């Protein structure tokens, strides 16, 4: 196992060294030769990644107590290949812009002074601050919206309570009206009964007088 890993490790170092060598030399070449160097760097990176994958597979076959040191190496190698890939991407982007805009792009790129670089950095910082302020404004807007939603819910609940209280009051008012009508009706009946009672008493008194009159006559 260690022999296989060592073999892959040597292959990885060769591919990585090839990529670094071409990266170091590419600034001294132009035109088609520069494109050839870019292809060589890309191929070396791809080869290094393939070898790194094989190394990872070999490590997985090891007992768990032996994997730590090998995994550490693999992480270090991964960082190295990431650096070369990053540099390759920068070189490739530069080449694409050069192909798109011609030599003017390269001349302008080389003529950018320190003041222009500082201005770009300042603009970038200003953009970041503006972005941060925008995020803060969005956060405040969301918080305000949430508070407004809660207030609307409270108002809706209070409106429902008021509507319920008003309905209860109207129902109670209806009961009071019915009670008043009942009391009035009872009052009228009581008055009628009183007059009827007076009539009956009057009739009885009249009958008594008639009986007494007929007896003493």
Which of 111, 145, 170 finishes a domain? 111
Is 138 within a domain? Answer: yes
CATH of the domain at 76: 1.20.58.400
Are the C-beta atoms of residues 49 and 81 closer than 8 Å to each other? Answer: yes
In angstroms, how far is CA 126 from the centroid of its own chain?
A: 26
Angle at 173 between CA 171 and CA 179, to 5 degrees: 105
Does 195 map to a domain?
no
Residue 179 lies inside a defined structural domain of this protein: yes
- Contact (CB, 8 A) for 109 and 93: no
Q: Are residues 135 and 164 located together in one domain of the fold?
A: yes
Q: What local confidence, expressed as pLDDT, does residue 200 receive?
A: 92
Number of structural domains found in the chain: 2
Q: What is the pTM of this model?
A: 0.44
Q: Are 94 and 161 found together in one domain?
A: no
**Residue 136 CB contacts under 8 Å (≥ 6 apart), including other chains:** none
Q: Kindly state whether residue 211 falls inside one of the protein's structural domains.
A: no
Asked if the structure places residue 199 within a domain, the reply is no
Range of the domain at 104: 2-111
Does residue 123 sit in the same domain as residue 61?
no
**Per-residue confidence in pLDDT tens, the chain, 217 aa:** 567 888 888 999 999 999 899 889 888 888 888 889 889 999 999 999 999 999 888 888 888 888 888 889 889 999 998 999 999 888 888 877 766 665 554 555 555 555 566 677 767 766 777 777 777 777 777 777 878 777 888 888 888 888 888 888 888 888 888 888 888 888 888 888 888 988 999 999 988 888 888 887 6
The pLDDT assigned to 113 comes to 54
User: Is 79 in the same domain as 139?
Assistant: no
Could you tell me if residue 217 is inside a domain? Answer: no
> Which token pair is 31?
């035109």
Amino acid 116: pLDDT: 63
**Based on the domain organization, do 107 and 135 belong to the same domain?**
no
Residues 133 and 42 grouped into a single domain: no
Task: Please indicate, yes or no, if residue 97 is contained in any of the structural domains.
Answer: yes
Q: Within a domain: residue 128?
A: yes
In a shared domain, residues 85 and 137: no
State whether 60 and 145 are in the same domain.
no
């Amino acid at each position: 196992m260690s022999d296989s890993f060592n073999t892959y490790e040597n292959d990885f170092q060769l591919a990585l060294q090839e990529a670094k060598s071409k990266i170091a030399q590419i600034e001294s070449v132009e035109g088609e030769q520069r494109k050839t160097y870019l292809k060589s760097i890309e191929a070396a990176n791809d080869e290094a990644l393939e070898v790194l994958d094989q190394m990872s597979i070999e490590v997985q076959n090891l007992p768990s107590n032996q994997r730590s040191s090998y995994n550490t190496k693999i992480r270090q190698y991964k960082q190295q290949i990431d650096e070369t890939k990053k540099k390759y991407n920068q070189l490739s982007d530069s080449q694409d812009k050069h192909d798109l805009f011609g030599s003017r792009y390269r001349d302008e790129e080389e003529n950018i002074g320190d003041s222009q670089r500082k201005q770009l950095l300042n603009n970038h910082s200003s953009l970041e601050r503006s972005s941060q302020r925008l995020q803060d404004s969005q956060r405040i807007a969301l918080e305000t919206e949430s508070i407004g939603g809660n207030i609307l819910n409270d108002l809706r609940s209070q409106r429902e309570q008021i509507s319920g209280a008003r309905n209860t009051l109207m129902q109670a008012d209806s009961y009071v009206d019915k009670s008043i009508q009942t009391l009035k009706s009872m009052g009228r009946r009581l008055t009628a009964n009183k007059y009827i009672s007076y009539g009956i008493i009057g009739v009885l008194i009249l009958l008594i007088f008639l009986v007494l009159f007929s007896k003493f006559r």
